[in-house]
Structure formats: C-alpha cells, structure tokens
Amino acid sequence: MNPALRQEYLAALGLDAWVARGKSVPVAAGDGGAPPDALGAREAGVDWPKLRARVAACTRCTLCNTRTQTVFGVGSQTAQWLIVGEAPGAEEDARGEPFVGRAGQLLNSMLHAIGLARDQVYIANVLKCRPPGNRDPSLSEAAECLPFLEQQITLLKPKVMLAVGRIAAQNLLRTDLTLGRLRQQVHRFGLSQVPLVVTYHPAYLLRTPTDKRKAWEDLKFAREVCARV
C-alpha cells in the first residue's frame, strides 16, 4: 500500500505508524469451546445462492416480522478474513448490507490500515435480521441464525475470523466473559475450528476513541494469526 495512503487510514484511527518488532503470537483455546456438532447441520451442503435464498425467506424467529430485509453478508467469497458483527442496525436493515454508515466507514479504515480493502474480506453478522430498536440479540435468535453463519464459513474457508464487539464474541464463543478478557488470544470457532480473534465494534470506537489503540493492537494480532495459518 502507498505509505501516504496508509498513514491517512491510520490517522482516521487516531494512530501513528506502526513498525514491526517481531512480536510472537500466543495461541489459546477458545473459552466457549466449539459449538455443538449439530451447528449448521440444517444448511450443510447448501451453496451460496441457495443459502442466500434461505436467509431471505427465513421465518425461524419473530425478527422476520419486523425486518425491512435480511442482511446476508458482502465481500469476496474467497476471502481469507471473515469479519463478524452482532446484528444489522437501522441503516443495514434499510440497505441490506452489513457495516454501513459511520461505523462501516471506520471499519473500512481499520481494514485499510492493515492493507486490506473492504472487497478483499467477507463481512457478515451473527444475526441476519435487525432486532427492533437495535436491542441485543436474544440467545434463541442467535441460535436460530448461527447455522447460516456456519455454512457461510464452510463455503468461505477463511484463515481467520475477526469478531467485532462483545455481543458477537460472546455469541460465537458461547461465553459471558468480557471483551477485555477475550482479546489478544486465539479462540476457535465451529466444526472447522477457524482461528477467531476478538476486538471492539467500530460503533463503540466512535463513542470511545481512546480505545482505538487497543483495536489497532487487535488488528495487528489478527494479521499475524492469519499469516501463520
């Protein structure tokens, strides 16, 4: 990446340029353990078009009654990185695309800072429908939607997953540990045991910019994990 352009993205994060120092990457087992073997079984063998159609027609929980449309996911279907948030917000529900608006712009800057364009990764959510009022997803809603995400992972075969935000991380890892305790270690998700790294949600960083430095450390850590896979 052009050094000046990279510095511009780092500036959007409120960070200075980073120089590699040969930091080692610790690896830890996921605190929540792998999801049950049955996770994703309902969607096993389904290709991308059929999976998208199933999501669009889904009525497994009451969110189907309040959504404008489902938010399947966007990005490269051969991406090495899978970015996973908790659920669509109002703008995502209206546009049918995850991580748009100010939070999406910051996510784009975060990715660009480590040399990735938005169209080089795949971006999805635990939930494919917006909870009313942007409330936290319920456990049952997450359980109904996770098979869709599991099949997306099966089709994508990413080298690393980046869970953004506490709610996404806790649902994926089936834990109630705080985001602070989940950061800076490698967890494993699903039947394929994909390496998973946890960081802050861009919307949180917009409210708490002092934590952008920690998010930058998480991004560097995830990049190192991906390079080692």
Residue bearing the bigger pLDDT, 44 or 83:
83
What is the overall mean pLDDT for the chain? 88
- Residue 15 has what pLDDT? 60
Which domains are assigned to the chain? 30-228 (3.40.470.10)
Instruction: Tell me the two tokens of residue 60.
Output: 């497994």
Q: What is the pLDDT of residues 157-212, one digit of tens each?
A: 999 999 999 999 999 999 999 999 999 999 999 888 999 999 999 999 999 999 99
- Residue 43 has what pLDDT? 82
Instruction: Give the distance from CA 70 to its chain's centroid.
Output: 17
Interval 53-80 mean pLDDT: 97
Residue bearing the bigger pLDDT, 6 or 176:
176
Sheet strands side by side (includes 122-125)? 74-75, 122-125, 81-85, 160-164, 194-199, 187-189
pTM above 0.75, yes or no: yes
Phi/psi-derived region of residue 42, left when phi > 0, alpha when psi is between -120 and 50, beta in every other case: alpha
- Residue 192 has what pLDDT? 87
- By residue count, the chain amounts to 229
Question: Which stretches of 86-148 are assigned E, i.e. beta strand?
Answer: 122-125
Percent of the chain with pLDDT over 90: 78
Interval 69-82 mean pLDDT: 98
Q: What is the pLDDT of residues 125-153, one digit of tens each?
A: 999 999 999 999 999 999 999 999 999 99
Q: Rounded to whole angstroms, what are the CA distances from 180 to 168, 169, 198, 203, 215?
A: 14, 11, 9, 17, 11
Confidence check: pLDDT of 71 > 80: yes
Confidence check: pLDDT of 122 > 70: yes
At position 214, the amino acid (one-letter code) is K
Confidence check: pLDDT of 80 > 50: yes
pLDDT band at 40 (very low <50, low <70, confident <90, very high): low
Q: In sequence order, what are the residues at sequence separation of 6 or more whose Cβ sits closer than 8 angstroms to the Cβ of residue 126?
A: 84, 85, 86, 87, 137, 142, 145, 146, 149, 167, 168, 171, 172
Residue bearing the bigger pLDDT, 221 or 190:
221
Residue bearing the bigger pLDDT, 5 or 227:
227
Burial of 155 (C-beta count, 10 Å sphere; 0-12/13-18/19+):
middle
